[in-house]
Amino acid sequence: MLSVAEAALLARDQAAQPWKQAFVCLLDRPVSRDHLADRIAERIGYAPRFRRKVDGWPLPGWTDDPGYLVLGHVREAALAAGETLQQWLAARLATPFDHAHPLWEAWLVQGAAGSLPALVVFSHPALVDGYDNVHLLQELFDEHPVPIAPAQPGWQPAAEEPGWGGLLARLGNPLQVARDAGAGLTGMVENAVRGVAAAPRTHHVAGVEVELDTLRFVRERYGCTTHDVLVAVVTAGVRGWLIDAGGVLEDQVALVPLAITEADALGSAVGARVAPQWIVLPITEPSPVARLQAIATLTQARADTGLSVPVSDLRDLAGFAPPTLHSLAAGTVAAGRPHSVWIGNAPGPAERRYLGQAGVSGFYSLLATTDEQRCTVSINSYRHRVTIGVTAVAPVRQFARDVSNELGALRGGQ
């Protein structure tokens, strides 16, 4: 059965205003569509929700898609003359999923990095719960080149009715029916699914890459964390974006999800729970150093609880964990507190990962905006470099410049 939180997340994906994530993997050699489909078929059993859709009423649930075909979710595209990958990504973020099938699609995009392709996976955050359901990309990559074997037939969808069938099955358990009714579960699901009305929204995409060593230098200079430095440079980017947009410069409430350790989360796939954390970004503060100090003070309160998960623990997770961590971070919007900025930070491995024989030379991600959000910022580290992907409701022209200037000012102590 669909949880209330999952229903609330799914409600944010509407035809007029799609809500999805994009994970971009730059490859160092070509991969064919058939080989990609074979690898997905081989590994998708570890991410079973990527074969499932939401079906049934009044108690919707995740059910195997009887029409599921791997090749139905694997596609190819080539950038048009003069088209950038960022423009292509923005257009795809504005294209809704087909809710008659599992909410994801993989694209091999030619021309994304010269003659080399990019693997781009779009997915809905509700596919991932961090326990039984991780992101498909966490399972596709290996630490060493591993040949891709031809797909073997054998999977068959389960004959299960999550909606009325699930409700009828519960009639044999009056206690559970009473609990569901007492919790107002059906009504809450209905409100979550139907209570959000979306207006059309245009997205603009930008990104920047920075050296991890530069971030570490600033961290050591000011006695803060690398995460603090990243939030500070993102604050500078958002500040510059607001100035370029010509609006009133005001401090912005940001949702900055954080991985925390709890007893009931130790059995999860990532050994942690990603919890919401809201901070007020010091947009109106003109000094880069003062902005960093203010952010470090705001984040210290959570660090003092002792619940924060060390970055090394997240970086060393099995497989390729950033897509799972970012999906969980996106899901914290269900906590419901209004905010204009979302900042997700997912550390990744220092060593190269492989898709078959192709190495992943670079990785970044994006998240469409929803609700009151005006921009989202997805931070990833991979192979000692950090990428920052931005999705915003107005053009983002100078984000890379503003991040670079902020790092330069912090290095110089301004």
Q: What is the rounded distance in angstroms from the CA atom of residue 26 to the CA atom of residue 14? A: 29
Per-residue pLDDT of 68-81, as tens digits, reads: 999 999 999 999 98
Higher-pLDDT residue of 171, 58: 58
- Is residue 314 over pLDDT 90? no
pLDDT of residue 149: 87
**Whole-number average pLDDT of the chain:** 85
Per residue in 33-58, is it b (16+ CB within 10 Å) or e — as a string?
eebbbbbbbbbbeebbbbbbbbbbee
- Is residue 172 over pLDDT 50? no
- Look up tokens 């964390």; give the residue: 225
- Is residue 190 over pLDDT 60? no
Give the contacts of 325 (CB within 8 A, at least 6 positions apart).
Answer: 259, 270, 274, 314, 344, 346
pLDDT of residue 32: 94
What CATH superfamily classification does 4-162 receive?
A: Chloramphenicol acetyltransferase-like domain (3.30.559.10)
Backbone angles phi, psi at 330, to 5 degrees: -65, -35
> Is 246 buried (19+), middle (13-18) or exposed (0-12) by CB count in 10 A?
exposed
- Is residue 180 over pLDDT 50? no
Of 68, 375, 73, which is closest to residue 240 (Cα–Cα)? 375
Q: Are 389 and 205 in contact (CB under 8 A)?
A: yes
- Is residue 12 over pLDDT 60? yes
CATH among 3.30.70.1450, 3.60.10.10, 3.30.559.30, 3.30.365.10 for 204-412: 3.30.559.30
β partners of residue 145: none
**Angle, vertex CA 120, rays to CA 116 and CA 126, nearest 5:** 165
Per-residue pLDDT of 206-229, as tens digits, reads: 999 999 999 999 999 999 999 999
Same fold, 4-162 and 204-412: yes
Higher-pLDDT residue of 117, 287: 287
- Is residue 173 over pLDDT 50? no
Is residue 306 left, alpha or beta, with left meaning phi > 0 and alpha meaning psi from -120 to 50? left
Per-residue pLDDT of 386-406, as tens digits, reads: 999 999 999 999 999 999 999
Higher-pLDDT residue of 270, 238: 238
pLDDT of residue 318: 65
Tell me which H or E stretch contains 117.
strand 116-123
Percent of the chain with pLDDT over 90: 64
> Is 260 buried (19+), middle (13-18) or exposed (0-12) by CB count in 10 A?
middle
Q: What is the rounded distance in angstroms from the CA atom of residue 237 to the CA atom of residue 256? A: 15
Backbone angles phi, psi at 33, to 5 degrees: -60, -40
> Is 150 buried (19+), middle (13-18) or exposed (0-12) by CB count in 10 A?
exposed
Kindly state the average pLDDT of the residues 177-203: 48
Strand runs labelled E in 130-277: 204-211, 252-255, 258-260, 273-275
What does the block give as tokens for 100?
């008659």
Per-residue pLDDT of 334-387, as tens digits, reads: 988 999 999 999 999 999 999 999 999 999 999 999 999 999 999 999 998 999
- Look up tokens 């590994």; give the residue: 43
Kindly state the average pLDDT of the residues 119-140: 94
- Is residue 265 over pLDDT 60? no
Angstrom CA distances, 155 to 65, 68, 69, 176, 195, stand at: 11, 10, 11, 32, 36
Higher-pLDDT residue of 326, 1: 326
- Is residue 51 over pLDDT 90? yes
pLDDT of residue 302: 62
Q: How confident is the model at residue 177 (pLDDT cuts 50, 70, 90)?
A: very low
Q: What is the rounded distance in angstroms from the CA atom of residue 130 to the CA atom of residue 326? A: 11
Q: How many helices (H) and strands (E) does the chain have?
A: 13, 16
**Angle, vertex CA 63, rays to CA 22 and CA 24, nearest 5:** 10
Quote the pTM value: 0.88
Q: What is the rounded distance in angstroms from the CA atom of residue 47 to the CA atom of residue 52? A: 10
Q: How confident is the model at residue 164 (pLDDT cuts 50, 70, 90)?
A: very low
Kindly state the average pLDDT of the residues 236-247: 91
Q: Are 10 and 333 in contact (CB under 8 A)?
A: no
pLDDT of residue 326: 95
- Is residue 115 over pLDDT 90? no
Is residue 184 left, alpha or beta, with left meaning phi > 0 and alpha meaning psi from -120 to 50? left
Q: Domains of the chain: which residue ranges?
A: 4-162, 204-412
